[in-house]
Structure 1
């Protein structure tokens, strides 16, 4: 069904769409439209130069794949053996002994431990913790009249909250954040992986010596009997899902509230809520736009197309949730999007993640009700990368206040 394509800042090369460049990051939705016109639901893409995959941009096709772990398992080892070990995106998608990268009994065991450790968390206490952290950060920036909400609010809020949840001392958490950032950026990613692993190994030692009422201690005590290597990789998943995506969710939502006429005139004045903006963002600009990888162990036919064995199949949560076949006008409180995935790999921390973002945004709007962008919206820069939807910065101005308490 190849058809003439409209001009775009993200052209396909030999029919393959690159997801790793600045052009795609600047306007992914135009690229998704071109993909749909050219290929329908299944699109040949490049995750990194020389690393190809199939991107799923149809909503119903994505549901089928996400709910069929037999034909589409998450274990990448058959594919990984064909990829150079120094590939910058490998630490993001390589095999690890955790629920995200496992299938079958191993997946069930890891997921049971992680779900139990997270479900024991008191969400009321978590809400109070986020408010306390937010107040401290806003007390620092509110007298200034301007700030980068990404580096001065969203990231430190998420980072401190996650360290609290996992019982991680700040000095270890700093190294975790540094290693995780390198992995997401794909710059010296293997070194970042090493820093992350060493920091988490130290965290495990701390919790073995002094257990607490935290997620790490609960994982160690779980009947699954996770060994040290397995513990490290459960924590990798939690930090990976907790720092970068959570930061992006907050900043992407605030950006929407400050730039979209449907929200900018109403959200800060109270007619619409942070929940409405969050729901819209999870549809249009989810923090992980393209992820949920699977690797068919044998060729599988989908919609008349044969997907090869041991090659990545990537679900575009952003494109699938905006599939014209299921599009509706009102997304407020409608949570049929795929931002948290679905099926056996549904995010087990979605309740906590939603609460953290909602509380952070509501507190921000309460303290700084006249927030406005410090630059024209088209000048905001999106960080390149095949997986995330992430701003490089979110500069704002506001009327200075004395304190946030």
Structure 2
């Protein structure tokens, strides 16, 4: 047994029935029992540190020298089985996700520059058009599953538009991105197909450059290689998909189950931004992030952390930190940790672009189907079993069937 495993004897399991039933309750119990940094066990009882205090998450994410991102630093690799369920989150690849230092700043800077040139008015138009097309497919039926038929698809359609993808290639990309995030036998093959699609897209943009993200990366003065570009395009579209989908779904759920938003459903838009921000604070899509790795022995939140130890960023727990809320820190601001923080946080302006997409998606839905009603009792809604993400399995609704012109809008 390693030193880390001995330290974590009797630690809380960050998986299993208690986590699935009430993750927020488990976060609160961990914080009460251990404080802002707690020993936890991942699947297979692999040890990690759960950083759940707001100040401590800020500290860890601000110091990329002491708490690094390259997963090859992990001191538990000898104990990780080949079929470990979380392997996809820690298996190293030379993408933007795992680079460090000057190399990371070069790659992240190029991505930020490419995203900064996205016209947010055009982006909103793309999102509205995607929303209208999806709503047209079910508006006449009077019922829908808004996760499967709406929220899970809009971010992919919009990102494909930002990438300047040929329209014929978009349906297969949407299918494969969706399959690749599922932890099943099809995910690896689907991920490979996504990488192949990005390689073809980079090749196309060399021949036919456009006003799109791949072309900007190709032409960026940082001199990115085609391999680097395709890897980072995969990272961007994967990061845009699930968190934004769940942000849309969680916001719709909040507005359908909280009386404060009843007037919005009746035809106003004033509260959509408030609901989006509240979800980031209280029901954020990215609950936890794996992770950071200590580059030397140190102390965090009163715990002794050894070189190579894994630190899980408890983003949802940090957002709910009682110390933050007791001093009014969460009231009406955007200082939540939902997009991470520091050098390896979500690259600017990606959070702004995600908000444009999510806000347009919710507003188009309310405009088109203003009498949306949840089709089941709120307690019957089921959440995905992921330790890392917080999103609904389905969001069944009913509404007055709407007329859709032949051929759609």
Distance 2:335 2:38 in 1: 22
User: Where does residue 114 of structure 1 map in the other structure?
Assistant: 111
User: Where does residue 281 of structure 2 map in the other structure?
Assistant: 283
Distance 1:308 1:330 in 2: 32
Aligned length, in residue pairs: 392
After the TM superposition, which of the residue ranges 49-58 and 157-166 deviates more from structure 2?
49-58
Paired residue secondary structure (2:313): strand
User: Where does residue 399 of structure 1 map in the other structure?
Assistant: 400
Distance 1:378 1:124 in 2: 38
Distance 1:193 1:259 in 2: 36
User: Where does residue 47 of structure 2 map in the other structure?
Assistant: 52
User: Where does residue 384 of structure 1 map in the other structure?
Assistant: 385
Distance 1:22 1:251 in 2: 23
User: Where does residue 210 of structure 1 map in the other structure?
Assistant: 208
Note the 1:6-405 alignment, pairs <5 A.
15-21=10-16, 23-79=18-74, 81-82=77-78, 83-170=80-167, 172-188=169-185, 189-263=187-261, 265-269=262-266, 270=268, 272-291=270-289, 293-327=291-325, 333-348=332-347, 349-403=350-404
After the TM superposition, which of the residue ranges 36-45 and 347-356 deviates more from structure 2?
36-45
After the TM superposition, which of the residue ranges 383-392 and 189-198 deviates more from structure 2?
189-198
Distance 1:394 1:185 in 2: 18
Deviation at 1:22, TM superposition (A): 5.5
Deviation digits for residues 190-212 of structure 1 (CA, Å, limit 9, x no counterpart): 33433332232222222223222
Distance 2:42 2:172 in 1: 27
User: Where does residue 3 of structure 2 map in the other structure?
Assistant: none
In 2 relative to 1, CA 297–116 (structure 1 residues): closer, same or farther, beyond 3 Å? Answer: same
Deviation at 1:356, TM superposition (A): 0.5
In 2 relative to 1, CA 187–168 (structure 1 residues): closer, same or farther, beyond 3 Å? Answer: same
* Aligned residues of 1:88 and 1:187 also touching (Cα < 8 A): no
* Aligned residues of 1:91 and 1:183 also touching (Cα < 8 A): no
Calculate the TM-score normalised by the size of structure 1: 0.90
Calculate the TM-score normalised by the size of structure 2: 0.89
Paired residue secondary structure (2:67): coil
Deviation at 1:368, TM superposition (A): 1.1
Deviation digits for residues 337-365 of structure 1 (CA, Å, limit 9, x no counterpart): 11111212232201100110011101111
Deviation digits for residues 287-322 of structure 1 (CA, Å, limit 9, x no counterpart): 111016111121221122111221221111111000
Paired residue secondary structure (1:29): helix
In 2 relative to 1, CA 275–332 (structure 1 residues): closer, same or farther, beyond 3 Å? Answer: farther
After the TM superposition, which of the residue ranges 143-152 and 42-51 deviates more from structure 2?
42-51
Give unpaired runs (5+ residues) of structure 2.
1-7
After the TM superposition, which of the residue ranges 281-290 and 205-214 deviates more from structure 2?
205-214
* Aligned residues of 2:13 and 2:45 also touching (Cα < 8 A): no
Deviation at 1:15, TM superposition (A): 3.2
RMSD: 2.3
In 2 relative to 1, CA 288–195 (structure 1 residues): closer, same or farther, beyond 3 Å? Answer: same
* Aligned residues of 1:92 and 1:184 also touching (Cα < 8 A): no
* Aligned residues of 1:300 and 1:308 also touching (Cα < 8 A): yes
Paired residue secondary structure (2:274): helix
Distance 2:73 2:9 in 1: 26
Deviation at 1:34, TM superposition (A): 1.2
After the TM superposition, which of the residue ranges 335-344 and 302-311 deviates more from structure 2?
302-311
Give unpaired runs (5+ residues) of structure 1.
1-12
In 2 relative to 1, CA 308–171 (structure 1 residues): closer, same or farther, beyond 3 Å? Answer: farther
